[in-house]
Amino acid sequence: MPTDAALPLPSSAARDKLRGPVVNCVAYNRAGRRISDITIDAISDVLKEPDTFIWLGLHEPDEALLLKIQEEFDLHELAIEDAQHAHQRPKIEVYDDTLFVVVHTAQFVCGKVEFGETHIFLGKRFLVTVRHGASLSYARARALCEQTPEMLALGPSFGLYAILDFIVDNYFPIVSSFEAELKELELRIFNEKFDRDTIERLYYLKRELVTLRLAVTPMHDILNQLKRFFPGLIHEDVRVYFRDVFDHAVRMSEATSTLGEMISAALQVNLAMVSVGQNEVTKRLAGWAAILAIPTTVGAVYGMNFEHMPELKWQYGYFTVVGITIVACSSLYWRLKKAGWL
């Protein structure tokens, strides 16, 4: 899909809320050029005109609006029910001559990764997106399509490609941020001291990555079906673009799998380093305990106050015992030091 660095950044979800549930509703002609913005009530009238199609974007609509959309586009009630209630699994379903797609989205909100859903209705002459939760506006994807009217002339299926490509591409900055944070945490991993914050952050990354993988992995099946099936809804010239998005999704899955293995390895290395540090402390304590055991034993023997201890009356008895103790302690200290225990 062509890109243009001069395009403005997409509007935020907060701005969409200020606009209301209807983010935009635009009619296009057969040449792929914008005719005009239309109202919801005018949808059925526009669809009566030949060689036109409609691209409607909704953000967290209420039940009444969805029922109105169902009436205007003749959508299936089960698909409308799924679109009204979020927390659906990613899937692709066919209702008569309408394709219903559910995908999960991801976005950074206040430094945290938030996940949302987008429900998409694709017909021969319409494309409807229903966003729930954290999700960037699809205004940028629409703008890119309008810059290439010859491709938008292929019909709503090209708009579906643009949206799915936009969603998959937004996964990559999140993974890149995870990789950058993991590199910072790696500097704190090789530390003998137990760092609870590091472990908690690694676990958080692992949890967020698992959630992201649950969003990315089902995209394989969705995109695989879009590039192979539904001849009445997907233009043949658009299938190659879905194959490109499929390759991006596969690359994203591989990146998340690799990063997940790296995080698991980091956790194991951190715990191993802590265990090694604790073992070193235990060895030092054991070594000093062995050294101190010698004078303790000697003191205990001569503290028994036996009546017959000949060396007690010997002139050099005290110095001999102290000397032997010092020699024994020094010898043991040298051996333990050489062995790396001290």
Which residue type does 49 have? E
Which pLDDT does position 192 carry in this prediction? 56
What one-character-per-residue DSSP string does 95-145 give?
ETTEEEEEEEEEEEETTEEEEEEEEEEE-SSEEEEEEEES---THHHHHHH
Query: What is the number of structural domains in the chain?
Result: 2
Task: Quote the distance between the C-alpha of residue 265 and its chain's center.
Answer: 17
The CA distance from 259 to 222, in Å, is 24
Which pLDDT does position 55 carry in this prediction? 93
153 shares a domain with 284: no
Residue 181 lies in a domain: no
Measured from the Cβ of residue 144, the count of other Cβ atoms closer than 10 Å reads: 19
Which pLDDT does position 262 carry in this prediction? 85
Residue 91 lies in a domain: yes
pLDDT in tens, the chain (342 residues): 444 433 343 444 444 444 568 888 999 998 889 988 888 888 888 888 888 899 999 988 888 998 998 888 888 888 888 888 777 788 899 988 899 999 998 887 776 788 889 999 999 999 999 998 877 888 888 988 999 999 999 989 999 999 999 999 988 888 888 888 888 887 777 665 666 787 888 888 888 888 888 888 888 899 999 988 888 889 999 999 999 999 999 998 888 888 888 888 887 877 777 777 777 778 888 888 888 888 888 877 777 777 777 777 777 777 788 888 888 888 888 888 887 777
Cβ contact 224:118 at 8 Å: no
Which residue type does 310 have? P
Residue 75 lies in a domain: yes
> Of the residues 107, 138, 169, which one is the last residue of a structural domain?
169
Cβ-Cβ contacts under 8 Å for 172 (sequence gap 6 or more): 252, 255
Residue 267 lies in a domain: no
Beta strand 126-133 pairing with 52-59: parallel
> Of the residues 106, 140, 169, which one is the last residue of a structural domain?
169
Domain span including residue 129: 1-169
In angstroms, what CA-CA distances link 195 with 49, 188, 267? 67, 8, 11
At 41, which CATH number? Answer: 3.30.460.20
> What's this model's pTM, rounded to 2 decimal places?
0.74
Which pLDDT does position 297 carry in this prediction? 83
Residue 32 lies in a domain: yes
> Of the residues 114, 145, 169, which one is the last residue of a structural domain?
169
Task: Quote the distance between the C-alpha of residue 165 and its chain's center.
Answer: 17
